[in-house]
């Protein structure tokens, strides 16, 4: 990973690069960012920059032996520790090093992914992953050796919140008295769950969530998503890049995702989200707004006929059909008709150039009310 591969966050990159250039690399740093943020990507890019043999003003060179090895996650002085659990492959006392091949493959596509994706990837089934005390002892053994070829030994520890008490205590000792030229990069998604003793021994690097513009950029530039759809996904993913990438691969149409989530928030009477949705709808083109409402009308028609499947009137499949069926189960005939009238009315007012913001907000509140009514 290189800094140039991470969209945006220039201020953080600047700070990290400046520390290396000034020779002020703190020995224990805590990269904290929510799920789907660049915290792990940033730690990887930083580890590369620290050990690059020909570092440039704004990034590692990408050409030297160190860059190439770190990029393939095979550098002997860059160590990884991450949560693991027993699997079919390693059924007893699993350690990170048992899963390094999987880790390398995983990070190629999942550097923004949450723990659950990693657990699925190595098939821990329902076993709770953690970082064991034995793992901490193995860290200490590895780091007490001299560096093989780099100036700095780097340990990237993903999700220190999953250290248990005894493993955290073992690790604390080495954090307090680190071997020379050793850098600990802890990457956390939940610092509230971290022991304060660990927090107090690390320098906090806060990685803010990606903003909509940055997510849009990644989707358009790297994932080949069409600009308008990218804007919708950016909004829906709420700063979580992994979620955005996942949504971009979903083969359902945009109106479906928007309508489905809109209805879910109406059901939950989640007014904060409904106001946010209203604002998003208001920013769409008039054509887009109308097409969303028409789609909603169509879904309601389908939901109304889906109990009478024999008639084979249902033209939906996949995720849309599942939604229509679920929808028809929770709505009585009368409620479905009221919803239908609300959407029809919204269309009518939109065509007469009413304020989209007011129309969508009124409609949301009316729908929430209909759903709640008995």
* Interacting residues toward Zn ion by CB under 5 A: 52, 60-61, 64, 67
- Nearest to Zn ion of 55, 302 (CB atom): 55
Q: What dihedral do alpha carbons 299, 304, 310, 315 form, nearest 10°? A: -10
Which class for 196: exposed (0-12), middle (13-18), buried (19 or more C-beta within 10 A)? exposed
- Nearest to Zn ion of 61, 257 (CB atom): 61
- Secondary structure letter of residue 208 according to DSSP: P
| SS3 (DSSP) at 98 | helix
Start-end of H helices in 123-176: 133-144, 165-176
* Rounded CA separation 272/278 (Å): 10
DSSP line for 237-297: HTT-HHHHHHHHH--S-HHHHHHHHHHHHHHHT-HHHHHHHHHHHHHS-HHHHHHHHHHHH
Q: Compute the least distance from the CB of residue 67 to Zn ion, in Å.
A: 3
Estimate to the nearest angstrom the gap between the alpha carbon of 374 and the chain centroid.
39
Q: Over the Cα atoms of the chain, what is R_g?
A: 25
- Nearest to Zn ion of 1, 122 (CB atom): 1
CA distances from 280 to 8, 229, 286 (A): 23, 13, 12
Q: Compute the least distance from the CB of residue 150 to Zn ion, in Å.
A: 11
The full length of the chain comes to 374
- Nearest to Zn ion of 45, 299 (CB atom): 45
Identify whether the C-beta of residue 41 lies closer than 8 Å to the C-beta of residue 185.
Answer: no
Q: Compute the least distance from the CB of residue 111 to Zn ion, in Å.
A: 19
Residue 32: left if φ>0, alpha if ψ -120 to 50, beta else—which one?
beta
- Nearest to Zn ion of 60, 73 (CB atom): 60
- Nearest to Zn ion of 66, 247 (CB atom): 66
Q: Compute the least distance from the CB of residue 68 to Zn ion, in Å.
A: 8
Q: Compute the least distance from the CB of residue 143 to Zn ion, in Å.
A: 23
Q: Compute the least distance from the CB of residue 80 to Zn ion, in Å.
A: 19
Q: Compute the least distance from the CB of residue 285 to Zn ion, in Å.
A: 46
- Nearest to Zn ion of 61, 275 (CB atom): 61
């Amino acid at each position: 990973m290189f800094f140039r591969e991470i969209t945006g966050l220039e201020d953080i990159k600047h700070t990290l690069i400046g520390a290396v250039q000034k020779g002020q690399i703190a020995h224990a740093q805590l990269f904290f960012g929510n799920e789907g943020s660049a915290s792990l990507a940033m730690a990887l890019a930083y580890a590369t920059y620290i050990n690059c043999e020909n570092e440039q003003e704004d990034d590692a060179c990408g050409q030297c032996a160190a860059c190439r090895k770190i990029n393939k996650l095979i550098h002997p002085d860059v160590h990884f520790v991450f949560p693991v659990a027993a699997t079919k492959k390693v059924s007893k006392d699993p350690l990170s090093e048992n899963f390094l091949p999987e880790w390398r493959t995983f990070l190629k596509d999942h550097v923004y992914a949450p723990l659950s994706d990693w657990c699925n990837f190595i098939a821990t089934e329902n076993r709770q992953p953690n970082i064991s005390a034995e793992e901490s002892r193995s860290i200490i053994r590895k780091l007490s050796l001299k560096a093989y070829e780099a100036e700095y030994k780097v340990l990237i520890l993903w999700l220190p919140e999953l250290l248990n008490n005894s493993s955290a205590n073992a690790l604390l000792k080495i954090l307090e008295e680190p071997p020379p030229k050793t850098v600990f990069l802890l990457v956390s998604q939940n610092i509230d769950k971290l022991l304060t003793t660990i927090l107090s021994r690390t320098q906090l690097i806060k990685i803010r969530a990606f903003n909509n513009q940055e997510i849009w950029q990644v989707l358009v530039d790297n994932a080949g998503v069409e600009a308008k759809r990218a804007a919708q996904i950016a909004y829906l993913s709420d700063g979580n890049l992994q979620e955005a990438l996942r949504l971009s691969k979903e083969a359902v149409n945009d109106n479906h995702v928007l309508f489905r989530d809109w209805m879910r928030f109406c059901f939950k009477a989640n007014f904060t989200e409904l106001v946010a949705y209203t604002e998003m709808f208001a920013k769409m083109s008039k054509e887009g707004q109308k097409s969303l409402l028409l789609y909603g009308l169509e879904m309601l028609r389908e939901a109304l006929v889906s109990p009478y499947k024999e008639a084979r009137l249902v033209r939906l499949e996949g995720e849309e059909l599942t939604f229509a069926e679920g929808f028809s189960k929770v709505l009585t005939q009368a409620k479905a008709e009221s919803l239908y009238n609300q959407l029809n009315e919204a269309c009518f007012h939109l065509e007469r150039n009413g304020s989209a913001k007011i129309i969508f907000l009124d409609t949301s509140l009316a729908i929430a009310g209909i759903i709640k009514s008995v």
